[in-house]
Chains A and B, each alone.
Chain A
Amino acid sequence: MPETIQLQVARYSPERDTAPSFQSFEVPCPNDWTVLDGLNHIKDKLDGSLAYRWSCRMGICGSCGMMVNGEPKLTCGTFLSAYVPGPVRVEPLVNFPVVRDLVVEVSDFMRKLRSVKPWLIRDDADAAATEEYRQTPAQLDAYRQYSMCINCLLCYAACPVYGLDPLFAGPAAIALAQRYNLDSRDQGAAQRMTVLSSHEAIWGCTFVGECTEVCPKHVDPAGAIQRYKLAAASEWFKHFLMPWGKSEGK
């Protein structure tokens, strides 16, 4: 094991720079250091001006997603030892505007998340909560995988469609819509369908599945998107069917 490894870190300050550049740092490389440990070493010892997000350092808060040698990764779970002898190139997540250094602007995702109504929708919403809704383990399993999304946005960085068409709701938002659609307690699938099928871009997803590949929590957004397309297609088809017993269209 070498004692150090070189990190090539993307730097950009809107107050100073017109374009991003790379700056190289030598950081220690013990077996148990992650890329995030390397960045923290830089900030604490070498250059306090390096900007990046991090918090839990245990792969659950979703803050520290960056491009590591061109792949979207949670830096807290990506070990430097995997990149020996280096160098390791660290860049902000692609497909997002860069605020500064390794920090990207994510408000587009926040808006899209809200647009898919990611909350439990009930017809009896005003009923007092005196006892729990029943849900069997099998019913829980039907959506559990989609509930594991930590909003780290690696899937948006991996998504070729989002890169080209910013109107696309994107993998995580669609997976979270599906999380509620498949929840036996929820009655809002039709509302969410209306929202999602108004986004033309969903048809642009060609099921290459990069989003599912990069997900650190083994969520399958690509699968969610395909299910949506099937459901949306059959909804569309139903427009042309005459309901039984009606003499006029709706």
Chain B
Amino acid sequence: MDHTVHDVLLVGGGGAGLRAAIAVAETNPRLRVAVVSKVYPMRSHTVSAEGGAAAVINPADSLDEHAYDTISGGDWLCDQDAVEAFVQEAPREMIQLEHWGCPWSREPDGHVAVRAFGGMKKMRTWFAADKTGFHMLHALFQTTLKYDPIQRYDEWFVTRLLEDEGRVCGVVAIEMMSGRIRAILAKAVILCTGGCGRVFPFTTNASIKSGDGMALAYRAGAPLKDMEFVQYHPTGLPFTGILITEAARSEGGYMLNKDGYRYLQDYNLGTPQPKPVLRSMELGPRDRLSQAFVKEQEKGRTIPTPYGDVVHLDLRHLGVQLINARLPFVRELCLKYQNIDPVNEMIPVRPVVHYMMGGVHTDLDGATPMAGLYAAGEVACVSINGANRLGSNSLPELLVFGARAGRAAAGFASRQPEPPGAALAQFRDERRRIEERILGATGGSERVATLRDQMQEAMERGAGIYRTGESLAQAASALRALQQRSERIRLDDQSRTFNTELTTALELGFMLDVAECIVHCALQRTESRGAHQRTDFPKRDDARFLSHSLAKRGADGTPQVSYAPVTITRWPPGERVYGQPAEASQKAGG
């Protein structure tokens, strides 16, 4: 048989996908729910998240403060109704995960402990030492094992969505083990495939982060939203790009330039204090810290290394006890991958591509404009992250919106007839494309790795931390040329069994589409906001650009960009203030 049928199909088995699967099973236990993932779910990239997950739990904190931090952190591009729903539901979701066994770090009295995080005015970040994502993912995955209705397609690679008259009704996927290409029909599909950091050369993201879900939705006709907003995390290890968590700074680490000077004080981020101050200095937002690095570099105050310039993250004054208790993974990663011990040496770090604020356009229930298609987690853009996500908001986001999308898709699927068999014609087209035009192609001579390297180079040069109209136009034309060359890929491997060269070729196709959306959206947003900084348009322009970009695939295959309004409920756009004066501006927001 060429196909199987489900009610709700999750594409991606990371935090969002597993949370959504449980939500479906709990909403309606009769539904046939399945998770299809190109890796075993516990390998998903959620596993790499380190620092923590924000949710208001302390009596001294409030939902409005979490909302305000998120909205100002996002440079007012967040949809405020979405943020309000998010901060309200985050605590319940975090407690739910605690009840599912997540080993949160604790206070002496047994309550869950919270830590400071960048851009957050109150301590509200729950953590499991510095392996928060790992523990969340394993707790979720192991919990899904008790739900009999949840079926899994482990190591199945999804290549396209199936649709019938505008309604999404399944996917085409390759079973890696056998190489068989199959259709999996479903009444509703939820994309939970995460981000696309691998379109850039230097990223914290795992090798599997190739924007699959974004490209699948885009090719099917759904718009991608706010794709120009790419988050650089300020502290990645040189060469590998391995993340050193923001928790290293929230526990009191210093950022130092080559003179041992806490340079962030020169960039309107407050004055240095010995102990960490919330929303100040090293606890400023990621976009501002990454931009400060480039300015330091321009002043010649960074440290050259074979893998590019770096600054130092200094944890030595924290002491071995605190580092072992709160940052054990940071120490392990430094020892193993950088051969330095942060207890008595400074860590070389540089900004590194970390997270996509943009993604598949959804509403508050994860619904896309296409019937039957939902998205949640990093692949989606609701938007709660606006122009810059705050650290520790992405983990609660995948719980809140994973659960919402799961419930909504379950409701939708319960009301739908069986998925139409008409879509199977598209399946046969897709199988032919893979078998004849990719696997069996003999005419071309291009290598996947060569094209991928050139794409990454074009993205870094043209669409990095600072961009110009010219740099972006060059990137756009480089990507067009690479799209054409990708038609002439020749694989070394024509076999079926676990053909990872075939999947890397398909991933390259996804990444090229996503990269084009990033570049075109960035080119047309002639302002600077959050993580999108145009040196030729250095000011924020609310009159023209207090709006979301929506990229749809045009007839010629290039992205067509239009705009949609931002939802403002209670916090009118203001100035982003970090350092001491932040108190005053927050009062204005209410």
Q: Indicate if the CB atoms of B492 and A100 lie closer than 8 Å.
A: no
A132 is an interface residue with CB less than 8 A from chain B: yes
Distance, CA A172 to CA B118, complexed state (A): 36
- Bits for A38-69, please: 1 = Cβ < 8 Å to B, else 0: 00000111011101111111111111000000
Distance, CA A110 to CA B44, complexed state (A): 15
A203 is an interface residue with CB less than 8 A from chain B: no
Q: Indicate if the CB atoms of A133 and B42 lie closer than 8 Å.
A: no
A103 is an interface residue with CB less than 8 A from chain B: yes
Distance of A176 from chain B, by nearest CB (Å): 8
A192 is an interface residue with CB less than 8 A from chain B: no
Q: Indicate if the CB atoms of B43 and A63 lie closer than 8 Å.
A: yes
| Stretch of B104-112, B363-371, B426-434 on the interface side | B104-112
Distance, CA A54 to CA B332, complexed state (A): 19
Chain A residues with CB under 8 Å of B501's CB are 43, 48-49
Q: Indicate if the CB atoms of B43 and A119 lie closer than 8 Å.
A: no
- Bits for A1-42, please: 1 = Cβ < 8 Å to B, else 0: 000000000000111100000000000000010000000000
Chain A residues 168-198 with CB under 8 Å of chain B are 176, 180, 183, 185-186
Q: Indicate if the CB atoms of B492 and A61 lie closer than 8 Å.
A: no
Q: Indicate if the CB atoms of A56 and B206 lie closer than 8 Å.
A: yes
Chain B residues 486-505 with CB under 8 Å of chain A are 491-493, 495-501, 504
Chain A residues with CB under 8 Å of B286's CB are none
Chain B residues with CB under 8 Å of A144's CB are 103
Q: Indicate if the CB atoms of B143 and A49 lie closer than 8 Å.
A: no
* Residue of A58, A101, A120, A147 contacting most chain B CB atoms (<10 Å): A58
Q: Indicate if the CB atoms of A48 and B491 lie closer than 8 Å.
A: yes
Q: Indicate if the CB atoms of B493 and A48 lie closer than 8 Å.
A: yes
- Bits for B233-268, please: 1 = Cβ < 8 Å to A, else 0: 000000110110000000000000000000000000
B568 is an interface residue with CB less than 8 A from chain A: no
Q: Indicate if the CB atoms of A48 and B146 lie closer than 8 Å.
A: no
Distance of A106 from chain B, by nearest CB (Å): 7
Distance of B507 from chain A, by nearest CB (Å): 12
A48 and B154 contact, Cβ closer than 8 Å, known pairs A54-B207, A119-B100, A136-B109 = no
Chain A's interface size range is 35 or more
Q: Indicate if the CB atoms of A15 and B495 lie closer than 8 Å.
A: yes
Q: Indicate if the CB atoms of A135 and B106 lie closer than 8 Å.
A: yes
Q: Indicate if the CB atoms of A60 and B48 lie closer than 8 Å.
A: yes
Select which of A57, A118, A186 is within 8 A of B207 by beta carbon: A57
Q: Indicate if the CB atoms of B98 and A132 lie closer than 8 Å.
A: yes
Chain A residues with CB under 8 Å of B99's CB are 120, 122, 129, 132-133, 185
* Residue of B138, B333, B448 contacting most chain A CB atoms (<10 Å): B138
Q: Indicate if the CB atoms of A113 and B111 lie closer than 8 Å.
A: no
Q: Indicate if the CB atoms of A119 and B131 lie closer than 8 Å.
A: no
Q: Indicate if the CB atoms of B495 and A49 lie closer than 8 Å.
A: yes
Chain A residues with CB under 8 Å of B111's CB are 132, 134
Q: Indicate if the CB atoms of A60 and B134 lie closer than 8 Å.
A: yes
Q: Indicate if the CB atoms of B206 and A57 lie closer than 8 Å.
A: yes
Distance, CA A14 to CA B498, complexed state (A): 10
Q: Indicate if the CB atoms of B497 and A133 lie closer than 8 Å.
A: no
Distance, CA A244 to CA B16, complexed state (A): 51
Distance, CA A222 to CA B235, complexed state (A): 37
A58 and B40 contact, Cβ closer than 8 Å, known pairs A14-B497, A48-B493, A134-B110 = no
A137 is an interface residue with CB less than 8 A from chain B: yes
Chain B residues with CB under 8 Å of A176's CB are 142
Q: Indicate if the CB atoms of B498 and A100 lie closer than 8 Å.
A: yes
A163 is an interface residue with CB less than 8 A from chain B: no
Chain A residues 71-122 with CB under 8 Å of chain B are 77, 99-101, 103, 105-107, 110, 113-114, 117-120, 122
* Residue of B105, B177, B500 contacting most chain A CB atoms (<10 Å): B500
Select which of B47, B92, B447 is within 8 A of A60 by beta carbon: B47
Q: Indicate if the CB atoms of A13 and B242 lie closer than 8 Å.
A: no
Q: Indicate if the CB atoms of B177 and A62 lie closer than 8 Å.
A: no
A123 is an interface residue with CB less than 8 A from chain B: no
Q: Indicate if the CB atoms of B492 and A151 lie closer than 8 Å.
A: no
Q: Indicate if the CB atoms of B493 and A186 lie closer than 8 Å.
A: no
A131 is an interface residue with CB less than 8 A from chain B: yes
* Residue of B96, B98, B107, B447 contacting most chain A CB atoms (<10 Å): B98
A140 is an interface residue with CB less than 8 A from chain B: yes
Q: Indicate if the CB atoms of A135 and B145 lie closer than 8 Å.
A: no
A150 is an interface residue with CB less than 8 A from chain B: yes
Distance, CA A45 to CA B99, complexed state (A): 48
Distance, CA A66 to CA B92, complexed state (A): 41
Distance of B350 from chain A, by nearest CB (Å): 15
Q: Indicate if the CB atoms of A16 and B336 lie closer than 8 Å.
A: no
B39 is an interface residue with CB less than 8 A from chain A: yes
Closest to B133 in A: A60
Chain B residues with CB under 8 Å of A247's CB are none
Chain A residues with CB under 8 Å of B240's CB are 32, 57-58
Select which of B95, B134, B143, B498 is within 8 A of A129 by beta carbon: B95
B532 is an interface residue with CB less than 8 A from chain A: no
Chain B residues with CB under 8 Å of A118's CB are 142, 145
Q: Indicate if the CB atoms of B40 and A110 lie closer than 8 Å.
A: yes
Lowest 5 A-B CB distances belong to which pairs?
A134-B110, A44-B449, A49-B493, A48-B492, A120-B101
Interface, chain A (partner B; CB < 8 A): 13-16, 32, 43-45, 47-49, 51-63, 77, 99-101, 103, 105-107, 110, 113-114, 117-120, 122, 129-137, 139-140, 143-144, 147-148, 150-151, 176, 180, 183, 185-186
Interface, chain B (partner A; CB < 8 A): 39-40, 42-45, 47-48, 92, 95-96, 98-101, 103-112, 131, 134-135, 138, 142-143, 145-146, 154, 177, 206-208, 239-240, 242-243, 329, 332-333, 336-337, 447-449, 491-493, 495-501, 504
List 8 interface pairs A-B (beta carbons < 8 Å), by A numbering: A43-B501, A51-B497, A60-B47, A63-B43, A77-B336, A129-B96, A135-B110, A183-B101
